[in-house]
């Protein structure tokens, strides 16, 4: 469209006044930008305060993604659903992208990963009646019953040990269910990032219940989350480049940090790790 604008104006420019040519060129370029803009559909799951249908502007991650694409002329519509269905639907090509996932090796087989959206530190939560003491390896946790949430990554080693039966892992569909099981001694450990865990406990559990729960300072993992683009889609490479350009733009403008500041850059009590970067 951009090339067509110049071709037409060069061809007929001599027949119009110079000012008319400039106006026509501007209008043509505006139409070109409009023609290239697109409303994107992105699948996502509930993970407040990072993402939630009930949160202001749908949470931190949707705000970042939306702002990045807006700098490149695109708008975004997010569709919330359970995490497992979100990933499966994106794998079938039903969405332009999937938000927001760890860029695990098995996912890289089917998806391109964007530049990091933010970083999370995952810790093991436990009931104070049965505290988790010092541990160095997941192999040391074989005597614990560990809760997990369907569709979450945790780590490749975690799931490999679970599949081999070395770790006793019981999965449910929500983080809230896992905390309820933890309080009832139906599981001993539950891995979760601290910021969403704190938000979940504050919103759905009593002060007395929260007092009974703690987490071990040693992280299970420190990982970045990403927007995923299906490799089978012809538009994915272009959308990946477009998004990364937009993400860089909002970081340079300061808008990215403004969004993240709504929850703050929280430090782990055990180390220097920043939950959001």
pLDDT(235) > 90: yes
> All domains of the chain, ordered by start, with CATH?
2-36 (no CATH), 39-118+224-260 (3.40.190.10), 120-222 (3.40.190.10)
For residues 194-214, give the mean pLDDT: 94
pLDDT(32) > 60: no
pLDDT at residue 262, rounded to an integer = 77
Residues whose CB is less than 8 angstroms from the CB of residue 35 and which lie 6 or more positions away in sequence, other chains included: 1
User: Is residue 100 reached through a cis peptide bond, with omega within 30 degrees of 0 on the bond before it?
Assistant: yes
Q: 245-251 long-range CB contacts below 8 Å, 24 or more apart?
A: 245/71, 245/72, 246/67, 246/68, 246/69, 246/70, 246/71, 246/72, 247/64, 247/68, 247/114, 247/115, 247/117, 248/115, 249/68, 249/71, 250/64, 250/67, 250/68, 250/71
More confident position, 70 or 119: 70
pLDDT(271) > 60: no
Tokens 């959206």 correspond to 117
- The CA distance from 269 to 85, in Å, is 35
The tens digit of pLDDT for each residue in 82-140 reads 888 999 999 999 999 999 999 988 899 999 999 999 888 999 999 999 999 989 999 99
Lowest mean pLDDT among 28-32, 205-209, 238-242, 245-249: 28-32
pLDDT at residue 270, rounded to an integer = 35
The tens digit of pLDDT for each residue in 183-195 reads 999 999 999 999 8
> Residue 42: in which H helix or E strand, if any?
strand 39-44
pLDDT band for 14, please (50, 70, 90 cuts).
Answer: low
Q: What is the average pLDDT value for the chain, to the nearest integer?
A: 85
For residues 130-157, give the mean pLDDT: 92
pLDDT band for 18, please (50, 70, 90 cuts).
Answer: low
pLDDT at residue 264, rounded to an integer = 57
pLDDT at residue 65, rounded to an integer = 97
pLDDT band for 17, please (50, 70, 90 cuts).
Answer: low
The tens digit of pLDDT for each residue in 259-269 reads 988 765 444 33
């Amino acid at each position: 469209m951009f090339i067509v604008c110049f071709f037409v104006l060069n061809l007929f420019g001599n027949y119009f006044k110079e000012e008319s040519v400039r106006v026509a060129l501007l209008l043509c370029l505006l139409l070109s930008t409009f023609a290239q803009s697109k409303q994107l559909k992105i699948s996502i799951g509930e993970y407040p305060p990072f993402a939630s249908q009930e949160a202001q502007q749908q949470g931190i991650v949707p705000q970042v993604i939306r702002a990045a694409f807006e700098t490149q002329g695109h708008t975004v519509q997010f569709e919330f659903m359970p995490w497992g269905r979100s990933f499966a639907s994106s794998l079938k090509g039903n969405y332009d992208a999937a938000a927001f996932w760890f860029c695990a090796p098995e996912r890289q087989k089917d998806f391109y990963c964007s530049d990091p959206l933010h970083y999370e530190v995952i810790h093991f939560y436990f009931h104070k009646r049965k505290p988790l003491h010092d541990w160095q390896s997941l192999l040391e946790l074989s005597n614990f019953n560990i809760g997990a949430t369907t569709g979450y990554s945790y780590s490749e080693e975690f799931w490999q040990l679970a599949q081999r039966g070395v770790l006793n892992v019981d999965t449910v569909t929500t983080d809230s269910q896992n905390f309820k099981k933890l309080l009832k001694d139906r599981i001993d450990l539950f891995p979760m990032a601290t910021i969403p865990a704190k938000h979940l406990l504050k919103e759905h559990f009593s002060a007395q219940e929260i007092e009974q729960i703690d987490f071990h300072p040693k992280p299970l993992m420190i990982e970045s989350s990403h927007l995923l683009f299906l490799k089978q889609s012809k538009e994915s490479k272009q959308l990946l480049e477009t998004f990364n350009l937009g993400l860089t733009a909002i970081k340079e403008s300061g808008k990215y940090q403004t969004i993240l500041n709504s929850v703050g850059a929280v430090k782990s009590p055990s180390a220097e790790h920043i939950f959001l970067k």
